[in-house]
Amino acid sequence: MSELNCVAVLINGKVDATIPVADRGFQYGDGVFETIRIVNRQPVLWALHKQRLTAGCEFLKIPLELGLLEQELHGLLMANGACGIVKIIISRGQGGRGYAPPARAESLRALQFFPLPEDLQRPNENGVAVITCNHRISRNGQLVRLKHLCRIDQVIASAELPPQYAEGIMLTEDDEVIEGTRSNIFVVQGAQLVTPCLTTAGIQGVMREYLLDRFASDGVPVAQTRIDLPELLAADGVFICNSVFGVLPVVKLVHGKNVKQFQVNRFAKTAWQYSNEVFAANS
């Protein structure tokens, strides 16, 4: 646990850090997960995380005792720091050799609590540099709504990133812009704010969903559409988001020899404010 800088781990409600080797999450990535920002011992945007976690388990037909999970989450938060990050993993449990899932699965619940990294304790509104990834993201429209455990595309892409870049932008084989390795992306095109439609690849992130609703409620519709690489390079502004760091404006985008500089535009400033309000609401 020390290598993970992890404060506490619960496996099926018990203090433990051991996953059976026969667990299908370990064997095949047969499960789902959520990574949640904790403020004042409260899971931020928990309703959206819970909705996606439940939908993922229902799609994969993995049993989920949601009430029990919430009791364990509450106990974990009461016993540890007021601020941090919690990762929830639900796997199908043990199932023997072979891809076919067992007729009766006893799912495994793993909850991990991590302290909040120092860089997240200082909100960054000045912007970050990002780079496009060489590794291309796989397409599968059925998996877009799932935060499933099979993240090898993100692992390979993340391994490419030089330390001076905060994020890598992932593309399909035909140069369609999808998302970051750990974030969603919003693009400013003139007076219009757009985000990839995510019909064939990517993950519909919790912070993305919150921002879409929040902008719409303030009378700023966000178009969900296909964005190709040339459109990204010609954009008037870019920002990225996830449920842990919130919103980060992009001030520099590198694609091969192409380097594009951006100003922190009004859309990015508004989104940054929205995400900080969410975190502050729990404090």
Say how many domains are in the chain.
2
Lowest mean pLDDT across 32-36, 123-127, 237-241, 244-248: 123-127
Which of 116, 137, 153 corresponds to the end of one domain? 116
Confidence band, pLDDT 50/70/90 cuts, at residue 263 = very high
Q: How far apart are CA 113 and CA 7, in angstroms?
A: 6
Look-up of token digits 């959206």: 48
- 204 and 270 share a domain? yes
For the chain, percent of residues with pLDDT exceeding 70: 97
By C-alpha distance, which of 89, 74, 118, 81 is closest to 23?
89
pLDDT of 58 higher than 70: yes
Given a cut of 60, whether residue 4 has pLDDT beyond it is no
Query: Do 222 and 137 reside in the same domain of the chain?
Result: yes
Q: What is the mean pLDDT of residues 49-60?
A: 97
pLDDT digits (tens, 9 = 90+) for 155-211: 999 999 999 999 999 999 999 999 999 999 999 999 999 999 999 999 999 999 999
Q: Of the residues 116, 151, 168, which one is the last residue of a structural domain?
A: 116
Sequence-distant (6+) residues with CB within 8 A of 218 are none
Section 48-52 average pLDDT: 98
Let me know: does 223 contact 193? Beta carbons within 8 Å: yes
**Between the CA of residue 7 and those of 15, 17, 98, 174, what are the distances in Å?**
11, 11, 34, 42
Which of 28-32, 98-102, 167-171 has the lowest average pLDDT? 98-102
- Tell whether 122 is covered by a domain: no
Q: What is the mean pLDDT of residues 16-33?
A: 94
Average of per-residue pLDDT across 37-48 = 97
pTM of the predicted protein model: 0.94
Of 69, 71, 89, residue with least CA distance to 17: 89
* Block residue for tokens 């954009």: 235
pLDDT band at 282 (very low <50, low <70, confident <90, very high): confident
User: Lowest mean pLDDT: which of 29-43, 54-68, 116-130?
Assistant: 116-130
pLDDT at position 200: 94
DSSP secondary structure letters along 122-167: S---S-EEEEE-SSPPPP-GGGTT--BS--HHHHHHHHT--TT-SE
Cα–Cα distance for residue pair 176/179, rounded to 1 Å: 10
Q: Is the pLDDT of residue 151 over 70?
A: yes
Residue 2 lies in a domain: no
- Give the pLDDT of residue 178: 98
Above 90 in pLDDT, residue 53? Answer: yes
* Distance between CA atoms of residues 42 and 29, nearest Å: 28
Helix (H, G, I), strand (E, B) or coil at 47: helix
* pLDDT tier at 3, thresholds 50, 70, 90: very low
Q: Are residues 91 and 19 both part of a single domain?
A: yes
Distance CA 42, CA 74 (A): 8
Within a domain: residue 123?
no
DSSP 49-100: HHHHHHHHHHHHT----HHHHHHHHHHHHHHS-SSEEEEEEEE--B--SSSS
Residues 64 and 151 in one domain: no
Residues of the domain holding 51:
8-116
